[in-house]
Amino acid sequence: MEPYPYHYSCRPKADESAASGGAINPTMQFVLAKLQKMEMCLGDRIDGCCSSLECRIDEMEQKAKSHFITLEMAQVEFDQ
């Protein structure tokens, strides 16, 4: 049994993943989707229209998770 609920193996590049028939870890997909949303949110805020509730919730959620994500990414680097 893994000591942590999520264990990231080294994430393959998109072309390698497609070539080998592998898939990106679903948790990593979730993280990447969140980061893409954050980028969109930040872009909207620059234009002065980032006021939607969803955007604010995503921003707070990202702040809450950023420390966890950083630790997980560091673990990936350490495992290599």
pLDDT on residue 13 = 45
Position 30 scores a pLDDT of 79
| Average pLDDT value for residue range 67-77 | 63
Query: What local confidence, expressed as pLDDT, does residue 63 receive?
Result: 72
pTM, rounded to two decimals = 0.25
Take residue 22 and report the two structure tokens written for it.
């592998």
Q: Please name which of 26, 30, 37, 29 lies closest in space to residue 60, comparing C-alpha atoms.
A: 37
Residues 8-58 pLDDT 10s: 444 444 444 444 445 667 777 777 777 776 666 555 554 444 455 556 666
Q: What angle do CA 15, 4, 13 make, to 5 degrees?
A: 5
Q: Can you give the pLDDT at residue 52?
A: 56
